[in-house]
Structure 1
Amino acid sequence: MKALILVGGFGTRLRPLTLSIPKPLVEFANKPMILHQIEALKAVGVTEVVLAINYQPEVMLNFLKEFEAKLGITISCSQETELLGQLYPFKEMIEFHKAHGGEASIVVTKVDEPSKCGVVVMEETTGKVDKFVEKPKLFVGNKINAGIYLLNPSVLDRIELRPTSIEKAIFPKIAAEKKLYAIVLPGFWMDIGQPKDYIAGLRLYLDSPRKKSSTKLASGHHIVGNVLVHESAKIGEGCLIGPDVVVGPGCVVEAGVRLSRCTVMRGVRIKKHACISSSIIGWHSTVGQWARVENMTVLGEDVHVWDEIYSSGGVILPHKEIKSSILKPEIVM
């Protein structure tokens, strides 16, 4: 069984992090986003993964070759010359696809405001897709395409050798032939392509191992709620960490630091008594003593915030020094 993952986007909404590496390699809960997907595919018997790449293909190729042997799965890349556009209940989806006997299966998810999306109209009992309605003015359903597909090889024969949207050009035809089925995604689904959604998604993700009584989450008198700390990170005395915090490998969190609803990526140093909330701290950055970083501040790679600096919503590009406070959301170039 083969899988195709479309990773051709430029990740502009997640800048400045994606100025350093492609978005699929940005860590989410201390693991590159793309590895979450590849490991899940491997677990259900996928033997080959093809990645459709556009942005920084050489970086993606070098990284994935390292993990190909570790995961025991063949990973190949198809470099997109044009941007083509846009993975987890794989086991359930495979069983569903085999049972209904159609040509293609898609995963859908429920949303609160379907009028803002393209809605999938389907039979509730069988999952057979009737049609797609783009941003309906009248209520026709509350399920939208979640971007996960299981296709028979025959679907590939339907695709012409030119830039094609499978969602707009192919799926409606298969639905008209009564050969397209949809399965509702269990659990949660959301886009984590911009900082505020990344932080919100992290909260949902960290809540999952808590419900499963996982030992992966940190514990102790200094931990509040769901916290993930890499084994190589060092946490000082008198810190208060959590809720919804991830601390990456090689990080140093000095004494008296307060962290909440944030991600601290690989190699970061947080100096004494700093306070960080609702923010993302990029690789190898430093936050000075008594500094306060909040309100969806994002530090790119190798950013150094001086002592006693305040940042409210600053978006700081890589390799910068912040010597004066940022009192309102702005981009520091």
Structure 2
Amino acid sequence: MIHHHIEAASQVPGMKEILLIGSYQHNDQLSRFFAAVQQEFKILIRYLQEYTALGTAGGMYHFRDQILSGSPEAFFVMNCDVCGEFPLKEMLEFHQQKGTGAHFTMLGTEATRQQSLNYGCIVETKHTSEVTHYVEKPETFVSTTISCGIYLFSPEIFQFIGHAFQKKQEEISFDVDSNLHTKDTIHLEQDIFVEQLAGSGLLYVYHTSKFWSQIKSAGAAIYANRHYLKIYNRTHPERLSQNAEGKATIIGDVYIHPSATIHPSAVLGPNVTIGKNVVIGPGVRVRESLVLEDALIQDHCCILHSIVGWNSTVGQWTRIEGTPNDPNPNKPFAKVDIPDLFNADGRLNPSITVLGSNVQIPAEVIVLNSIVLPHKELGRSYKNQIIL
């Protein structure tokens, strides 16, 4: 997911540096990833680790000196739990047309009335695109224009975040019986947009009709994969695999990492991604799925609407399958309701099958609409279950 963010940001004219902010522990896997993408996109990338999760604005404020080093004219902020065809160049042009000085731009898209209740809703002045009202996940309908979680800020944003920070220092006392309150947690949505910027004349919305969605569950990755591959078909067709004599049969959009080993009798696609060092044996069928790094798919397996995790093994003649809830796969992505992993009553919502990392699946079984947590070795078939 982050790779797509970095690629989009690296193509913006004048982009000097990419900073990733999070509370995840820095590790060798992250270091290897950063080294690889720095080499690929020829741009400096740094990871700034929060001492605890500080909210969508708290991390920015904590690392404000690093963000402002080099005196940027403006900087993008992108939430990492979204995916899409990010129109950053167009957004920058829109932002610059609004003039110099303190002003701020958010990316917006259209949703249905029902979908809008799950997002930040934007009310704007049509002829100026000024945001006059903003509500985060409203209880009743406000607007079909929703925030995409992508922003372009002038450095003056830190004055507003600083004001929110000072207000929290004065008003919030820590409750020893609860971890819900912290003076350092600041949210862009409630503390900045709702409380300060909406209606101020400083906040604008740039609209996009291109592919965009949140990634809130593993199942959403299947849908995101489909659309990213569709984008590759149009913008980077050289990244997709083609049919050739002596190689596996390719149907539709398929990405295969150069290090993967695919038997010529396998059939892949449409909408399949095969990761680094994956091995796929004779007679295997893979459709609408992701097979992640170092996985082994043995002879005559069938992988449908599923994610196979890192270092996992699927035995011969085994079927790994999900049941997609996608009534119209050709609709724009922001208009498609991606099913949650669980129903309202807490039961697993049949949608896809996910195998965690280092999962061992035996030969001649079926795993249907199930979630298998990492480091499990199954001994039989499963249906509609979470294997702990």
Residue of structure 2 in register with 1:127 after alignment: 129
CA shift digits 1:127-185 (9 cap, x unpaired): 11111135557754311111111111111011133322121122232232211100012
Secondary structure (helix, strand or coil) at the match of 2:287 reads strand
- Following the alignment from structure 2 to structure 1, what is the Cα–Cα distance between the partners of residues 51 and 103? 26
Pairing partner for 1:316 from 366, 372, 375: 372
Alignment CA distance shift 1:167-1:135 (3 Å):
closer
2:284–2:301 contact (8 Å) kept in structure 1: yes
Contact 2:123 2:134 in 1 (8 A): yes
Deviation track 1:57-111 (CA, whole Å, cap 9, x = no partner) reads 3457634552475233141414142341484211111111111136100001111
Partner amino acid for 1:289?
A: Q
Stretch deviating more after TM superposition (63-72 or 185-194): 63-72
Shift of 1:217: 1.3
TM-score when normalising by structure 2: 0.72
Q: What does 1:1-333 align with in structure 2 at a 5 Å threshold?
A: 33-44=1-12, 45-58=14-27, 62-63=31-32, 66-67=35-36, 69-70=38-39, 71-85=42-56, 87=78, 88-101=86-99, 103-112=103-112, 113=114, 114-135=116-137, 140-160=142-162, 161=165, 162-172=184-194, 173-212=196-235, 214-220=237-243, 222-295=249-322, 296-326=352-382, 328-333=383-388
CA change 1:132–1:51 in 2 (3 A) is same
Give the gaps of 5 or more residues in structure 1: 1-32
1:218 is aligned with what amino acid?
A: S
Contact 1:52 1:80 in 2 (8 A): no
Q: Percent identity?
A: 34
CA drift of 1:126 comes to: 2.4
**In 2: Cα distance, 1:183 partner to 1:158 partner:** 21
CA distance in 1, matches of 2:120, 2:253: 34
Q: Quick one: distance in 1 between partners of 2:49 and 2:311?
A: 31
Quick check: 1:291–1:307 contact (8 Å CA) kept in 2? yes
Gapped regions of structure 2 (runs ≥ 5) = 58-77, 79-85, 166-183, 323-351
Quote the Cα distance in structure 2 between the aligned partners of 1:215 and 1:148.
28
* Secondary structure in structure 1 of the residue aligned to 2:238: coil
User: Would you say the 8 A contact 2:361–2:377 is kept in 1?
Assistant: yes
Structure 1 distance, partners of 2:120, 2:223, is 23
